[in-house]
Amino acid sequence: MNHVIIEAVNTLEQFGWTEKNQLEWDTLAFDDLQPARVIADFGTSLKIALPEVVSAELSGKLAHYKSRDDAPKVGDWVAVRVTDNGPATIESVVFRANEIARKVAGKQVLKQVVATNIDIAFLLLALDNDFSAERLKRFLYQLSINDIEAVIVLNKADKTDDIPSYIAQLELFEQPIIVSVATEGKGVDEIAAHIKPGRTAILLGSSGVGKSTLTNKLLGRDAQRTNIVRASDSTGQHTTVHRELFILPNGGLLVDTPGIRELQLWGTEEDLEANFTDIMDLATHCEFTNCRHGKEHGCAIQAALKNGTLDKNHYANYLKMKDELTKLATKTTEAIRQGKNRARNYNKSRNAEKRFDMLEDEEE
């Protein structure tokens, strides 16, 4: 069976391949493999750019990885084996400069990689019931630990008469802000101007915030299905059901993903401190170095909260995120310990079986 070519392009550079990638690829000396980029993930199958776009499957090694993080994600550069009588086979992930990740929902301590090799992320907030500065900070945290540029997009600006009040709530974040009405095309050119040829961008936000509509406007065609958002609670259904990378008319690259209803953090407390430098700076002015920032005498943070120089909601958000990451670290440590115990018990069991087999052989 021959490759199923879905669409054709001219060069791999159109998908973000650089001279640096080529130099690194040459050092790998894969004589029988080709570089490609993963551009769509349908769960059971992938699309890759060789640069011609073909369907691909995972090699046996990749398919049986215990960690889902090791499997190719949209945006990854991979080494691919191409034959004349079957689908392309992805042998390994070769370049992953960064990743956007989160903890999976529920009690499991697992990381879910949303996309990789991202240059710039547009964080969409709708100016209706979706607006949440607290959720925005969580997204900014996940982007900052991977050095991904962030731009805030306030979509559905036609839903309010007081845009300045929303912008005022975001001044603390010190990020570029674009006001848009995706359905009318307002703000689309400003967004596109940030996505230079060869750069990979991603749209992030809740379901119903307008990501699919904005994707269609940026592409200049209806590539993604859109749904009507419920007026009662400003909630939309997931119109994007898989992750896919598109080439924009200006040569930029755009990853569209399903809406994220809940962003559970994945990272460390040290990374968090780098995102709340104002609070960390205040802590250095506490009278005692071991100040817990509660009722201790001379606490600079409590003083700032009382005089209003430190926003109470901002500090509460920091404490909430810190608590979440502390619990994540504890659960991760426990999961590692349990995994080692299971491996140790398994090895003991295998060794016992081997000794039993050797005794039987001696008796015979």
Average of per-residue pLDDT values in the chain: 79
Largest CA distance in the chain: 90
User: What confidence tens digit (pLDDT) does each residue in 195-205 have?
Assistant: 999 999 999 88
Q: Is 332 helix (H, G, I), strand (E, B) or coil?
A: helix
Predicted TM-score of the model (pTM): 0.72
Instruction: Go through the chain and tell me how many residues it has.
Output: 364
User: What confidence tens digit (pLDDT) does each residue in 323-361 have?
Assistant: 777 776 666 665 555 555 555 554 555 555 555 455 555
Per-residue pLDDT band for 228 (boundaries 50, 70, 90) equals very low
pLDDT for the residue numbered 7: 47
Q: With the C-alpha atoms ordered 15, 20, 22, 26, is the resulting torsion angle positive or negative?
A: negative
Query: Which of 40-49, 66-75, 205-214, 331-340 shows the lowest mean pLDDT across its residues?
Result: 331-340
Per-residue pLDDT band for 362 (boundaries 50, 70, 90) equals low
Per-residue pLDDT band for 149 (boundaries 50, 70, 90) equals very high
Beta strands in the chain (DSSP E): 5-7, 34-41, 46-49, 53-58, 77-81, 88-95, 99-103, 111-116, 120-126, 149-155, 177-179, 200-204, 243-247, 253-256
Q: For the CA atoms of the chain, what is the radius of gyration?
A: 25
Could you give all domains of the chain from N- to C-terminal order, each with its CATH number?
5-95 (2.40.50.140), 99-256 (3.40.50.300), 267-364 (1.10.40.50)
pLDDT higher than 60, residue 129 = yes
pLDDT for the residue numbered 154: 95
pLDDT for the residue numbered 90: 93
Per-residue pLDDT band for 104 (boundaries 50, 70, 90) equals low
Q: Which residue has the higher pLDDT, 274 or 285?
A: 285
* Residue 69 to residue 89: CA distance in whole angstroms: 18
- Count of CB atoms within 10 A of residue 172's CB? 12
pLDDT higher than 80, residue 193 = yes
- Is the backbone of residue 208 left (phi > 0), alpha (psi -120 to 50) or beta? left
CA dist 209 → 113, 213, 233 (Å): 21, 9, 12
* Residue 288 to residue 305: CA distance in whole angstroms: 18
Calculate what percentage of the chain has a pLDDT beyond 70: 73
* Residue 341 to residue 181: CA distance in whole angstroms: 54
pLDDT for the residue numbered 354: 55
